[in-house]
Every structure is written in structure tokens, then in C-alpha cells.
Amino acid sequence: MIKVVASANGIVGIGAALDVLKRGGSAISAVEAGIKLVEDNPLDHTVGYAGLPNLLGEVELDASIMDGRTRAAGAVGAFKDYPYAISVARKVMEELPHCFLVGEGARRFAREMGFEAKELLTDVAEEKWKRMMDEHAPELSRGRDAYMDRIRDFVRLTRDPERPNETVNFIALDSRGSLCCGVSTSGWAWKYPGRVGDSAVIGAGNYADDRWGACACTGRGELAIRAATARSVVLYLSQGMSLPQAGERALEDLYQLEDAYFGPVSLIVMNPRGEHVAMSIADDMEYVYQDGEMMEPKKLGRHHVPRPGDRS
């Protein structure tokens, strides 16, 4: 059985990921191929090129990849100037004795590995940033330097209800029965510079273990970091829970966390038999999947797991 499960915005890359698997390629190559197309998509303002910037108008990317067979992992955080964060994360996994590079070190490594730099801030994304700043923090869009010492005051903008809430998640199962999980994002729009979210943190937004399954998250990354959500799901699977039980239990763990910015978290999970679930604290989230027999990907609603106070 070969199969790919992805967040809804993965629809532009799921065919390419499945093609890799059909040709006998690895789950790792499938995840990378699928995510790169999302990173390239100029209409997606939550991932890679055209992603929304931080408070200072700079695009900073987070990405991670984990091989369920070896449990090797690679990640980059607060990573600027290169569009394919997932490919650089893969290189970290394969070429370095490390799992995680951030900021300037990650850029240096990308350059050293021969990746091509590119301006990531598109006119549309810049326009959205400018509009937001003009309305809520005109000081930042006019003269950034004068306010460099107190931009923390503006982090309240991360509560912006219009803020797009996505990130791309891919999980692939290859013909050898191996799982790979990949996540890539431009993170919370208008975030504090240098903020790294769950997408780059192995165990938080990404985890894969061929013995039990793989899980990837989107949504309020600070919660997934605090509760080690992706790793929790896999651990619950290892303890004998079913896929829906493990996912629900991990989302319920988040309800316990006090957080003035509480936002929905969503996840996708697949086990080594190719069974999968997708669930969300929000009620309108979708996901996509496609296996080797299907001609087209299927888009479905996620199972809704509301917070107790939100249940009607």
C-alpha cells in the first residue's frame, strides 16, 4: 500500500508525491516533492515563497522532516532568503550530525549546499503586511528603526482574526512500509522576529515512527510545542489507542493549557498500515489524501474535536 495524506493546501503537491511513490521512490522523497510545490505556490501565503512576513516585514520559514524508519530528523527555523525550506531540512538530516539549524546558520548551510536564494516577500504579501501595520502599528511601517526597542508591544497583532491559519503537512507511506512526515510554514503572520513554531520542532509539529505511525500539526504552534503534540499522538498509538483515540487525547491535552492566544490546532495521523485520521479543534478544516489506486486526491472534512466550552 502506498499513500499520501496532507493538509488541504497540499492538494497542489499530492500528485507529485504519489508519483514518486509509484515509481518506487522513498516516503522521504515523496514528502519533499509534494511540499516543494506548496512552497512554490504564490497563492499560498502560509508556506514558503509568498508567505506572510514577521512584524518587521521579513519572511521567516520553519520546516522539518522525519524518517519513520530510522527516526532521523532535520529541521530549519527562522530561516530566511531560500524558498525550499523542506529540502534544506532534509539536507540537515542527511548531511550533518545535527537535527536543527536556525537563523544565520541555516542560511549559511543552505548556501553551502548550493541552494539558490530568492526574494520570498511578494508584492501581495507585502501589501497585506503594510495594510495590517498601517492600521494597527503605523510606527512599524514608517520608521522601523526608531521602534526597534519595543516591537514586542505589537505582538498582540498575532491575535488578528483574519490571519491565515495554515502550514503544509505531508505524511507518505512508501512501498517498503516506511513513513515520512514533513511540515513547512512561514509561521504566524506578524510574529516576533526569530519566533520558531511547532512546524520546525520535532515532537511538537512533526513526528514519525514506523512502528506506530506519524503525526503532523497545524495551528497555534506554541500549544503543540508545550504539549509535544505530534510525539504524544505517536506515543498514545504505541500504548494501544486507536488512531481517533490517540488524536483526540492529544487535542484534549491542549485544552488544559492556559493561553490568552488559544487558537485551533489540527492534525493528520497515519499508521504503517495506511490507515489515517485528520482532526481539528476548529469545525471547518479539510484535508486531502490519495493512495496508489485512486486517480485523484480526495478532499474531506476533518473530524471536529471541539473544546469542552465550545460544544453546543
Task: Determine contact, residues 5/289, Cβ cutoff 8 Å.
Answer: yes
Residue with cell 488559544: 262
**Cβ 75 to ligand ASP shortest distance, Å:** 13
**Cβ 187 to ligand ASP shortest distance, Å:** 4
Residue 54's CB is within 10 A of a number of other CB atoms, namely: 22
DSSP calls for 153-190 = GGGGGGG-TTS----EEEEEE-TTS-EEEEEEE--STT
Which residues contribute to the site for ligand ASP (CB under 6 A)?
62, 165-167, 185, 187-188, 197-199, 205, 218-219, 221
Task: Determine contact, residues 14/34, Cβ cutoff 8 Å.
Answer: yes
Task: List CB contacts of 23: < 8 A, sequence separation 6 or more.
Answer: none
**Cβ 248 to ligand ASP shortest distance, Å:** 19
Q: Which is nearer to ligand ASP, 2 or 82 (CB)?
A: 82
Long-range contacts from 244-247, C-beta under 8 angstroms, 24+ separation: 244/277, 244/279, 244/303, 246/213, 247/215, 247/277, 247/279, 247/303, 247/305
**Cβ 189 to ligand ASP shortest distance, Å:** 9
Task: Determine contact, residues 42/201, Cβ cutoff 8 Å.
Answer: no
Give me the sheet containing 179-185, strands edge to edge.
100-102, 73-79, 61-67, 179-185, 168-173, 3-7, 286-291, 298-301
User: 3-class DSSP state for residue 299?
Assistant: strand
Residue with nearest beta carbon to ligand ASP: 221
Q: Which is nearer to ligand ASP, 147 or 192 (CB)?
A: 192
Give 233: exposed, middle or buried? Use CB within 10 Å, 0-12, 13-18, 19+: buried
167 is catalytic: yes
The catalytic residue among 167, 185, 218, 229 is 167
How many whole angstroms separate alpha carbon 275 and alpha carbon 218?
20
Q: Which is nearer to ligand ASP, 21 or 208 (CB)?
A: 208
Alpha carbon dihedral 120, 289, 19, 293, in 10-degree steps, equals -170
User: 3-class DSSP state for residue 236?
Assistant: helix
**Cβ 204 to ligand ASP shortest distance, Å:** 9
Q: Which is nearer to ligand ASP, 18 or 50 (CB)?
A: 50
Closest CA to 164 of 309, 11, 53: 53
**Cβ 105 to ligand ASP shortest distance, Å:** 20
**Cβ 229 to ligand ASP shortest distance, Å:** 10
Q: Which residues are catalytic?
A: 167
